[in-house]
A and B are shown apart, each in its own frame.
Chain A
Amino acid sequence: MSREITITALKYNPSDCNSKPTFVDYKLQEEPGMTLYIALTKIKATVDHDLSSDFVCRAGICGACGMIINGKPKLACKTLTSDFKDGKIELLPLPTFPLIKDLSVDTGSWMKNMSIRVNSWIVTNEKTDISKLEKRIEPEVADEVFELDRCIECGLCVAGCSTAIMRKDFVGAVGLNRVARFSIDPHDERTDEDFYELIGDDEGIFGCMSLLACEDYCPKNLPLQSKIAYMRRKMIKV
């Protein structure tokens, strides 16, 4: 029942001066329930020990394995090879992020910069006495914050966004969502004016051209469209 599939990957090692970017084909037998994690692990263990890619949790939780899979930004570990009817799968590293090698890109530095840039943490003057009862939070508000806190920094929203492709300094949906997350968190004392200081420019909220690839490719189905609109409405009023 199993068929042969062809995985084509872009190979390139920018830190090796002899390396030239090339597409390499790998043929292998498909197994039931095979994900791209399983397929690539197999390729790495048998045919090409030199192929680099990033997998950590292999369960769609950590956000490490974003790739361009037949054109679309996706989590490789959550992609089944059986989804591709013709058995041909082309893999490219995520654009926008610096390439480390082959399919491995440096999302870490990008996300770190983004986090620092939007001050991705609770800002408050309140001192918490941790031996006392915790602050009460309305359950729905907690749920709402959680909903936005589910972002796994996979970078698919950035890789799918043409604005980010053209403008290197654009914070991306991930950054805008992060700001929305803190703006509704009751622990955070920042005002809209404060958030304006972080994202009130053409590299921030006003740079977003509402292309909505972020919304369409976010593997966590975050409500990016409405949260970006929400922040835009807020920021325009500041």
Chain B
Amino acid sequence: MSQENIIESLTGKTSKKKKSRIPAKLDFLQSATGLILAIFMIFHMLFVSTILISKDFMYSVTKAFELSFIFEGGSTVPVFISILIIFIIFIFHAFLAMRKFPISYKEVLRLKTHSDLMNHGDTKLWIIQVVTGFLLFFLGSVHLYIMLTNPGNIGPFASSDRVYSDTMWPLYILLLIAVEFHGAIGLYRLSVKWGWFEGSDPKKSRKRLKKAKWILSGVMLVLGAATLVAYMKIGAEHQSNYGERYTIQTEVQNAY
């Protein structure tokens, strides 16, 4: 065991008699991972919702992720790697954020009565974040694991089959709700936490940020729900051909 660790854990100081810089790094990383995930989720939503435009479009975007413009027919390796990276960030974020969870009965009771009594907006938002974060732990992991083990099975039919025939939709509904609340609140929190967009009147900017947060959640939820419905519809129509893979139907293919 490193002596440095022993010193710090017993005295609270490093051997240079300084406070450890780790807490600063953890706080930064928590925010950074949160930010990456939140931005990723916006793009992820745009990506999966391409199904609303057309199957072809979604297909070609998928292929693009498989780097079909480099590898003939596309490769699942880049997809696998990106899922792995996101999974790692996801786990790391969860690991960091867990530090903030209320852990004992006493803490939960105090937090709950306090928040019920006070009815304070931002505190409630945080509780939503904790609860949704906790849910994401499971829901997100399942989704990511499935993606990780089936990097090739993404596409208009493959995805629809999964949503509909493999009964993933209940999970997705929950995941969608959880992640959109969690992410939007997270972005709002990041702004107030680090003083972004403060402007000359922080009180006013905060009101604006909060509004932006609600709008973001709203838009994403609507978009997500519509997308899910689209997958369900395709999945239902395609149920008899479960397992069949999509092939391009128009000339878009030639673009790549």
Direct A–B contact present (CB less than 8 angstroms): yes
Please give the residue numbers on chain A whose beta carbons come within 8 Å of chain B beta carbons, in ascending order. 68, 71-73, 92, 95, 160, 162, 165-166, 193, 196-197, 200-202, 205-206, 209-213, 216, 223, 225-226, 229-230, 232-233, 235-236, 238
- Interface positions, chain B 80-136, Cβ under 8 Å from A, are 99-100, 102, 107, 110-111, 114-115, 117-120, 122-123, 126
* Residues of A contacting B107 in the complex (Cβ-Cβ under 8 angstroms): 166
Give the Cβ gap from A137 to chain B, nearest Cβ, in Å: 23
Give the Cβ gap from B32 to chain A, nearest Cβ, in Å: 11
Structural contact, B114 and A162, CB atoms closer than 8 A: yes
- Please measure, in the bound complex, the distance between the C-alpha atom of A201 and the C-alpha atom of B18, giving whole angstroms: 12
Give the Cβ gap from B184 to chain A, nearest Cβ, in Å: 15
- 8 Å CB contact of A238 from B24, B102, B110: B24
- Please measure, in the bound complex, the distance between the C-alpha atom of A211 and the C-alpha atom of B23, giving whole angstroms: 19
Closest to B130 in A: A209
- Please measure, in the bound complex, the distance between the C-alpha atom of A66 and the C-alpha atom of B21, giving whole angstroms: 36
Structural contact, A160 and B118, CB atoms closer than 8 A: yes
- 8 Å CB contact of B27 from A72, A211, A212, A236: A236
Q: Is B198 an interface residue (CB 8 A)?
A: yes
Given A71-B119, A162-B114, A166-B111, residue A210 in contact with residue B27 (CB < 8 A): no
Instruction: Spot the interface stretch: B40-48, B57-65, B188-196.
Output: B188-196
Structural contact, A229 and B24, CB atoms closer than 8 A: no
Structural contact, A236 and B28, CB atoms closer than 8 A: yes
Structural contact, B99 and A202, CB atoms closer than 8 A: yes
Structural contact, B23 and A202, CB atoms closer than 8 A: yes
- Please measure, in the bound complex, the distance between the C-alpha atom of A110 and the C-alpha atom of B50, giving whole angstroms: 56
Please tell me the size bucket of the interface on B: 20 to 34
Please give the residue numbers on chain B whose beta carbons come within 8 Å of chain A beta carbons, in ascending order. 18-21, 23-24, 26-28, 99-100, 102, 107, 110-111, 114-115, 117-120, 122-123, 126, 189, 192-195, 198, 202, 206
Counting from the closest, the 10 A-B pairs by CB-CB distance are A229-B195, A210-B193, A206-B27, A71-B117, A212-B122, A166-B107, A206-B23, A226-B202, A201-B23, A165-B110
- Please measure, in the bound complex, the distance between the C-alpha atom of A210 and the C-alpha atom of B122, giving whole angstroms: 8
Closest to A229 in B: B195
Closest to B127 in A: A162
28 A-B pairs whose Cβ atoms sit less than 8 Å apart in the complex = A95-B110, A160-B120, A162-B115, A165-B111, A166-B102, A166-B107, A166-B111, A193-B18, A200-B24, A202-B23, A202-B99, A205-B27, A206-B23, A206-B27, A209-B126, A209-B189, A210-B122, A210-B189, A211-B120, A211-B122, A212-B122, A212-B206, A225-B192, A225-B202, A232-B194, A233-B195, A235-B24, A238-B21
- Please measure, in the bound complex, the distance between the C-alpha atom of A210 and the C-alpha atom of B189, giving whole angstroms: 7
Given A165-B114, A223-B202, residue A196 in contact with residue B19 (CB < 8 A): yes
Structural contact, B195 and A226, CB atoms closer than 8 A: yes
* Residues of B contacting A71 in the complex (Cβ-Cβ under 8 angstroms): 117-119
- Please measure, in the bound complex, the distance between the C-alpha atom of A8 and the C-alpha atom of B23, giving whole angstroms: 43
- Please measure, in the bound complex, the distance between the C-alpha atom of A236 and the C-alpha atom of B102, giving whole angstroms: 24
Closest to A95 in B: B114
* Residues of A contacting B110 in the complex (Cβ-Cβ under 8 angstroms): 95, 165-166
Give the Cβ gap from A129 to chain B, nearest Cβ, in Å: 33
Closest to A216 in B: B120
Given A202-B99, A206-B27, residue A68 in contact with residue B122 (CB < 8 A): no
* Residues of B contacting A233 in the complex (Cβ-Cβ under 8 angstroms): 194-195
